[in-house]
Structure 1
Amino acid sequence: MIRPRTLIRIVLYGTITWLCLVGLWLGLPSPSPYDDGTTYATSTLLAGRTLTRVYSTSDHNVQTSEYARRKSFALTYRLSPSHTSVLVNGHYIFPIYNNWTDTPAVAVQVATGDQDGINPPWFNVADSTLLFHKIHYDDGAITLRARRIGDTWEIYPEGNGHQPLLSLTGIGNGETAAPMDINKATVPAPPESFSPSRTYYIRLVIFYLMVPIGMVFVVIGGTFGATFTILFKIFETLLLVGIQMLFAVAVVLVFVRVFKGKDAMEELIEETLAKLRSPIVWIAERFKRATRRRVACIQKQKWYDLDR
């Protein structure tokens, strides 16, 4: 049986750990890779890695639910080792050939999100969008085609003036079905599209640590959709309240430190902790007494049964 003091320590240390994670979540910088629309995209794709880009839904014809109209959507691209195709969002293959006709239209499911919720305004746009999606799991659909123009092969959304989302430039050998020798990749430069920051995956780990059962939610979310949404709404509300409280405390402490000095600030902290500690100690003592009475009753019942 867990002792009351142990239970209080678990709750206290858990709260402190959670607050530290929130502070790290808020204070972790979001350095974006050097992104002129070409350098980062080219180095990422030619190295065989996945390129993630976040675009604005208002600039492209993205079909979403009326109840989940988000500001941004994400696409991932991965170049095949032989440079003969591009894998979009992990499921949709667009072949790269030296033909001059547009490929058939493909409806691609995309992750959508906003830049608010638990994400402060100073987060990277792509980071905020992807993290927002991790909570709400709103999806949309966009119809894409691919075509070849000169030495450039591009993917573009249907019905939007053929503005390319990704362009690959290479030197074709003139044969109809031969792959290009790709030497450059181009995507719309910020602010038309963004890639996640270098610390996105660190912040994602912090996110799952702040929600210890977050991974379980992800697994069961598809089965218990309503419960999943409600639980994350509760978490989002609690996190927002916690963030606001942290900001309020920080403002008060800074005000006291500036106008009344360091000693006054330390005294305020000690008095506040003492006031917070008093009800916790009172509850612990009450719980301890109740536990002792319960244990005494159980022991008395055992002796009574033995006497019989």
Structure 2
Amino acid sequence: MFPVKTAARIAFASIFAWIVLALVYAGLPSPPPRDNGTDYPTKVLRSGKTLTRIYKTDIYFPFGESGHEAIDKAHITKESNFALSFTLTPTSSITKSEALSITISDKSPIPLNPPGNSHQNGGHKTKDGPPATSPETLSKPFTVRSPAGDKDGINLPWFEEADAVLLGASVSSGRMYITLRTRWNENGQFEIHTDGPGWVCIPIPS
């Protein structure tokens, strides 16, 4: 027969272990962000690390414009927030910006340099080289699979929003399918936009 004292000790040890773990979890810090939207992401991307950003679903895919494939797809799982990750990688041994590409979540690397001088469908080139704004500078829609979640659940009240969303997404395995487009503006600058009706896209900040 299993000794009663041994069983009591095991039960007590288990309860004590759970209490300790709960206290450790409750004491987890959520450091305030030191991010002005420019310096921090630039530093992370230039160091070759992955930058992860959190975005609100209703802002970038307004539910009032449902009926568009990209918006309907984003609202399938009914998650309030989604995450996108960005990584800069050289496309060759050359480290110049012209040789860089960006990886967005699980999307294949996209070159950062503007399209070549040859454009279809009536595209034209400016005097200095980069193509003028035209349909050719806006990519076709592409979809990435993104972590997604809410701030509630197991998160503590003082957790920063980004930490709470990513932690919730990892626990619930929350995912969304985000439809994006890339474009080069009239100055040859690379931009990332969400897809939407009539190509009215919302820029994704880094």
Is the TM value for this pair above 0.5?
yes
Q: Tell me if the contact between 2:60 and 2:202 (Cα under 8 Å) persists in the aligned partners.
A: no
- Which of 145, 156, 165 is equivalent to 2:181? 145
2:123 maps to what in 1?
A: none
Using a 3 Å threshold, how does the CA distance of structure 1 residues 37 and 4 change in structure 2: closer, same or farther? same
Which one has a larger percent helix, Structure 1 or Structure 2? 1
Q: Tell me if the contact between 2:106 and 2:145 (Cα under 8 Å) persists in the aligned partners.
A: no
- Count of aligned pairs between the two proteins: 166
Does residue 53 of structure 2 align to residue 53 of structure 1?
yes
CA RMSD after TM alignment: 2.2
Deviations 1:156-197 (A, max 9, x none): 11117433214xxxxxxxxxxxxxxxxxxxx2xxxxxxxxxx
Q: CA deviation at 1:65?
A: 5.7
Q: Give the Cα–Cα distance (whole angstroms) in 2 for the partners of residues 19 and 32 of structure 1.
A: 27
SS at match of 1:92: coil
1:20 maps to what in 2?
A: 20
Deviations 1:273-299 (A, max 9, x none): xxxxxxxxxxxxxxxxxxxxxxxxxxx
Q: Tell me if the contact between 1:92 and 1:108 (Cα under 8 Å) persists in the aligned partners.
A: no
Q: Tell me if the contact between 2:74 and 2:178 (Cα under 8 Å) persists in the aligned partners.
A: no
Q: CA deviation at 1:51?
A: 0.3
1:135 maps to what in 2?
A: 171
1:43 maps to what in 2?
A: 43
Question: What code does the residue aligned with 1:145 have?
Answer: R
1:157 maps to what in 2?
A: 194
Question: What code does the residue aligned with 1:27 have?
Answer: G
Deviations 1:190-228 (A, max 9, x none): xxxxxxxxxxxxxxxxxxxxxxxxxxxxxxxxxxxxxxx
Greater radius of gyration (CA): 1
Does residue 104 of structure 2 align to residue 88 of structure 1?
yes
Q: Percent identity?
A: 34
Task: Calculate the TM-score normalised by the size of structure 2.
Answer: 0.71
Q: Tell me if the contact between 1:64 and 1:139 (Cα under 8 Å) persists in the aligned partners.
A: no
Uncovered stretches (5+) of structure 1, i.e. residues with no partner? 167-186, 188-308
Q: Tell me if the contact between 1:64 and 1:141 (Cα under 8 Å) persists in the aligned partners.
A: yes
Using a 3 Å threshold, how does the CA distance of structure 1 residues 4 and 81 change in structure 2: closer, same or farther? farther
Counting only pairs closer than 5 Å after superposition, residues 253-264 of structure 1 correspond to structure 2 as: none
Using a 3 Å threshold, how does the CA distance of structure 1 residues 155 and 15 change in structure 2: closer, same or farther? same
Q: Give the Cα–Cα distance (whole angstroms) in 1 for the partners of residues 7 and 112 of structure 2.
A: 61
Deviations 1:117-165 (A, max 9, x none): 1112221111111111122222211211111121421111111743321
Does residue 85 of structure 2 align to residue 76 of structure 1?
yes
Q: Tell me if the contact between 2:102 and 2:109 (Cα under 8 Å) persists in the aligned partners.
A: yes
Does residue 161 of structure 2 align to residue 125 of structure 1?
yes
Using a 3 Å threshold, how does the CA distance of structure 1 residues 2 and 55 change in structure 2: closer, same or farther? farther
Q: Bigger CA drift: 124-133 or 41-50?
A: 124-133
Using a 3 Å threshold, how does the CA distance of structure 1 residues 91 and 16 change in structure 2: closer, same or farther? farther
Using a 3 Å threshold, how does the CA distance of structure 1 residues 8 and 93 change in structure 2: closer, same or farther? farther
Q: Tell me if the contact between 1:48 and 1:81 (Cα under 8 Å) persists in the aligned partners.
A: no
